[in-house]
Structure 1
């Protein structure tokens, strides 16, 4: 199953409409959390918001997580070790107040298990890719240096 989430602050109809169309075209099993009580989609299951228990239940059954380029979505994917496809909201399209999600997506491109789609074609290609690597937390040299520094500062 594909779980699409847009967070709880803003709807993201551009991305969810693409997923709705692709679900029909590709026969995908999709559940979307839309942040929009008035949303109507025909090819996916959806709800505006989920309780924490509902969220955890759907996440446990998810093969691929798709979301806006919000850090919470990315951290969740890494925590549960699921591949994550992110599509940044665009301020230029009125989807957000600035282009910080474009910057986040640009920075995360190439990270293990984090895939960036800017267009419908890129989203389609990722949703049909045979094997997406799971996102996960990894020990990088930078992370290890920061941990060592913090241990020395806090516990030293």
Structure 2
């Protein structure tokens, strides 16, 4: 099953029309939370709004999730380990009040499991790829690089303080707690 969500703030007719067209070509069920979109979807199961519990159930049951570029949906894909195709709303098409979703997906272009559909042709290409990798809650290389850089900076500052006589015992400062494994 493919689950489509447009969030709770605004409808996203361009995405729903594209997914309805795709649903006509596949035997796989397509369920969509359409967020007040009043256009008629003929080939997918459309619901205006759904409860948080039903959202979680649809997310868990889905083989693939297709969505707007909402952070909540992105985090859910990572939490449930689902491949996510993200199509950002565009201000120029009057789909949102600004282009923050374009900025969001630009920052996610190299995140494994988050697949970007800049336009509907990208969406159809991605939907035909049955080997999309799932999103993961594991930290990416940028987090490791940030932690490494901060650790080096702190060690350098401590050494400089000891050399200046400002800090005679760096062990007075507790080490940061070990990182807990994500669930």
Common topology (TM > 0.5) = yes
Conserved in 1, the CA contact under 8 Å of 2:77 and 2:84?
A: yes
Structure of greater relative contact order (alpha carbons < 8 Å, 6+ residues apart): 1
Residues 12, 34 of structure 1: 8 Å contact kept: yes
What is the match of residue 5 of structure 2?
5
Query: Residue by residue, what CA displacement relative to the aligned partner does 1:111-138 show, whole Å, maximum 9, x if unpaired?
Result: 1000000222211111110211110122
Cα contact 1:22–1:28 (8 A) shared by 2: no
Relative distance call for 1:56 and 1:106 in structure 2 (3 A) is: same
Q: Give distance in 1, aligned partners of 2:139 and 2:105.
A: 21
Give the secondary-structure state (helix, strand or coil) at the position aligned to 1:122. Answer: helix
Q: How many residues align?
A: 152
What's the C-alpha RMSD, in Å, of the aligned pairs? Answer: 2.2
What corresponds to 2:65 in structure 1?
65
Q: Distance in 2 between matches of 1:43 and 1:56?
A: 23
Matched residue SS, 2:25: helix
Provide the C-alpha distance between the structure 1 equivalents of 2:103 and 2:46, rounded to a whole number of angstroms.
28
- Partner residue, 2:118: 118
Unaligned runs of 5+ in 2: 155-174, 178-183
Matches within 5 A, 1:54-133: 54-133=54-133
Deviation at 1:141, TM superposition (A): 5.0
Normalised by the size of structure 2, how large is the TM-score? 0.76
- 1:143 Cα deviation after fit: 2.5
Gaps (5+ residues) in structure 1? none
Give 3-state SS (helix, strand or coil) of 2:86's partner. Answer: strand
- 1:142 and 1:130, CA in 2 relative to 1: closer, same or farther beyond 3 A? closer
In 2, distance between residues paired with 1:68 and 1:49?
15
